[in-house]
Amino acid sequence: MDKEEGSQIFIRDQGLDQDSRTGSNLAFDSARADFDPNSGLKRGLQTRHVTLMALGGIIGPGSVVGLGVYLHKDGPASLLVDYSIVGLVAFSLMQSIGELNSLFPATNGFSNHITRFVGEAFAAMTSYNYVIVWICVMMAEYTTLTATMNFWAPEVPAWGYFLIFWAFFMSVQFLGVTLYGEAEFWLAIFKLIGLTAFYIFTIIYMCGGVRGTPAFGFHNFKTPWAGQAPVKSLANAIVNCSTAYSGIELMSLNAAETKNPIRAIPIAVRQTLVRIFYVYLGITLSFGISAPYDSPLFSESVSTLRSPIYVALYNAGWHSSYHLVNAFIVIISLSAINSAIYIGTRTIVNMANEKLVPFPNFFRRVNRRGVPYVAAVTFHLFGFLSLLSVGSGTQTAYSYFVSVSGVSTFFVWGAISVCQLRFRRGWVRSGRKVSDLPYQCLGYPFTPLFSVVMNIFLALIQGWMYLKPFQHEWFIDAYIMFPLSLIFLVSYKIWKKTKLVPYEEMDFETGRRYDLEEEFKQLKAQEKLNPLTRKQKFANVFKVWI
């Protein structure tokens, strides 16, 4: 389906009249200017929504419950080192995303970028991997949510809670992106406040501020690798780390739904280091300090009781703290599932716009609120796969889901960095200036090259520990995405007869917001003539959060 057909579908679904057309772009009346003309999605996300979603929106129950599994198996040092390594890779990735999406905000995310600057088959392989990532994340979060609710009220079976929440989340998807952004904004604040409170507790606890507990400092790091070889601990925990970081690339998808992406995206990219240090390294360090890896509580049959937060509070004497921890898990599970459905839905819409899925016209339909309802229902149906945990056990099912999603995440991140490398080279070869980019990748070309190499390395190393002794079920789970990705790539290439995009044929115009670029240039020119005072700079930063 070309842009002409896509525009017709958008007009029909929105109930609009076509007044005029310039090239392949629709001329919308002023009342409909807040809808993206290419996809029909509503531009309802403000800068504060994007920045808070980027900062706290990706904190899921895996960071509160799932980390306990790997802390128990691999020790505190493995998590701290792995989260640091993956954090560096994520920072490198965000530089690529910032450069691409600040220049092409009105596109179908990275699927469009990869199609234009690498090739259609490579874009299809990446996009299908990304859908699999969020199907697995959604299944894992549903598993955690239903297990938590089942602990509180076991009279209702896990599948009963799943059906209740499935209907709830399906209804929420039809409320529109503005309400989604507002909800995620406040939920992100709540999650950050909760983590901050636990960080404060950890400092007090380790310094002997809890009655009956002497100061113990970093005593729990005396057995950093849980009694096993360091390399094995690091390799085993690396997949959990990548899954926890999944979603950091969200701005590549919601740029088209953001009111001013040229302003919002660079701000969110610059916050990446804050996220890595405060959220991820803060979580792993505080968990490693406050919860001994060999605590018998990590062997509890109830998944929520294996949370390092609960283990720490229990050891500090608060034995009934599971109610507080469960409430926290439920709230962040609601946010995580809602985000997973949002991201998965937008991925399907983007794939439909790029004609990477069968029946693209069907999947890209939106209602009057700009909600892609067909894609939302289709993606959410995969949530029923979380019922597999009913037979296999919550912990086993969760680990399977995390393993698959972690490997696919490495594929997607590496592909985005490859795309940015080819884009920048094509941009320069076309005679354009790097200084014209709204955001420039820091440390190019070393930053994206580091991302590509590390993602390949991490994808290869994460399952080697299953070779000796050979554990076929976990080995298959660790490496199943390698042959599947090759099948996606080769079959699509044969089907569509695609090829690598030559530098001379790269499209550097589609998806640009020249109105915002001009506004951005004028603002930069004004700042050069009249530099902002320190007070004005602080006021501008403050405006982002309100």
- pLDDT per residue over 419-475, tens digit each? 999 999 999 999 999 988 888 899 999 999 999 999 999 888 888 777 777 888 778
Q: Which two tokens stand for residue 261?
A: 């992406």
pLDDT band per the 50, 70, 90 thresholds, residue 506: very high
Closest by Cα among 58, 69, 57 to 397: 69
pLDDT of the residue at 54: 65
pLDDT band per the 50, 70, 90 thresholds, residue 417: very high
Q: Residue 86: CA atoms inside 13 Å, Cβ hemisphere, count?
A: 31
Closest by Cα among 38, 479, 88, 51 to 273: 88
Report if residue 1 sits inside a domain: no
Report if residue 219 sits inside a domain: yes
Rounded CA-CA distance 12/5 in Å is: 11
Return the H-helix or E-strand segment holding 529: helix 514-529
Report if residue 358 sits inside a domain: yes
Do 77 and 240 meet the contact criterion of CB atoms below 8 Å apart? no
Closest by Cα among 276, 228, 347 to 89: 276
Residue 464 sits in which domain range?
Answer: 34-512
Report if residue 528 sits inside a domain: no
Report if residue 136 sits inside a domain: yes
Residue 400 neighbours by CB under 8 Å, 6+ apart: 392, 477
Do 264 and 258 meet the contact criterion of CB atoms below 8 Å apart? yes
Do 125 and 480 meet the contact criterion of CB atoms below 8 Å apart? no
Report if residue 184 sits inside a domain: yes
Rounded CA-CA distance 307/87 in Å is: 22
pLDDT of the residue at 489: 92
Helices (H), 302-381: 308-315, 322-353, 360-363, 373-381
Report if residue 24 sits inside a domain: no
CATH of the domain at 481: 1.20.1740.10
Query: Is the model's pLDDT at 544 over the cut of 60?
Result: no
Query: Is the model's pLDDT at 108 over the cut of 60?
Result: yes
What is the rounded average pLDDT of the residues 36-49?
Answer: 64
Q: Which of 246-260, 301-315, 326-340 is the most confident on average?
A: 326-340
| CA distances for 156 relative to 147, 164, 323, 332, angstroms | 11, 11, 18, 21
Count of domains forming the chain:
1
Which burial class, exposed, middle or buried, applies to 366 when counting CB atoms under 10 A from its CB (0-12, 13-18, 19+)? buried
Closest by Cα among 532, 67, 534, 23 to 279: 67
pLDDT band per the 50, 70, 90 thresholds, residue 76: very high
pLDDT of the residue at 368: 80
Q: Which two tokens stand for residue 476?
A: 């298959």
Report if residue 186 sits inside a domain: yes
Rounded CA-CA distance 183/191 in Å is: 12
Residue 397 neighbours by CB under 8 Å, 6+ apart: 139, 143, 386, 388, 389
Helix (H, G, I), strand (E, B) or coil at 22: strand
Average pLDDT, the chain: 81
Query: Is the model's pLDDT at 157 over the cut of 90?
Result: no
Query: Is the model's pLDDT at 541 over the cut of 70?
Result: no
pLDDT of the residue at 5: 47
Residue 442 neighbours by CB under 8 Å, 6+ apart: 95
pLDDT of the residue at 405: 79
Rounded CA-CA distance 257/251 in Å is: 10
Residue 9 neighbours by CB under 8 Å, 6+ apart: 40, 361, 364, 365
